[in-house]
Amino acid sequence: MKRVHAIARGRVQGVGFRAGAAHEARRLGLTGWVRNRLDGTVEVLASGDDAAVDQLVTWLEHGPRGARVTGLDVHDPPPTLTSEQLVGFEVR
């Protein structure tokens, strides 16, 4: 079981990034969430099978058509997110 926290930068809002990420995460059987941040980035918390989480991270590197990801920071979630109980994958 793997859990990651990611921040995508670039043209990632207003291009279907959250919906695409949620679709991909659900397809991979992951739990977690995706949300826009006020600074124009998109934040993702994902948990599940190691290989599936890695596949989602690969998807996040480019996002959906229309997105232009200029940077993706991926790391272990901070303690405040590590204890969060995840059910399904939601768009926040």
Encode pLDDT of 20-43 as tens digits.
999 999 999 999 999 999 999 999
For 22, the domain range is: 2-33+48-84
**Is position 91 within any domain?**
no
Rounded to two decimals, the pTM is 0.94
pLDDT digits (tens, 9 = 90+) for 34-71: 999 999 999 999 999 999 999 999 999 999 999 999 99
Rounded to whole angstroms, the Cα distance separating 26 from 78 reads 23
Sheet holding 2-11, edge to edge: 68-75, 2-11, 42-48, 31-36, 89-91
What amino acid positions are annotated as catalytic residues?
A: 18, 36
User: Total structural domains in the chain?
Assistant: 1
**Is position 27 within any domain?**
yes
**Is position 19 within any domain?**
yes
**Is position 42 within any domain?**
no
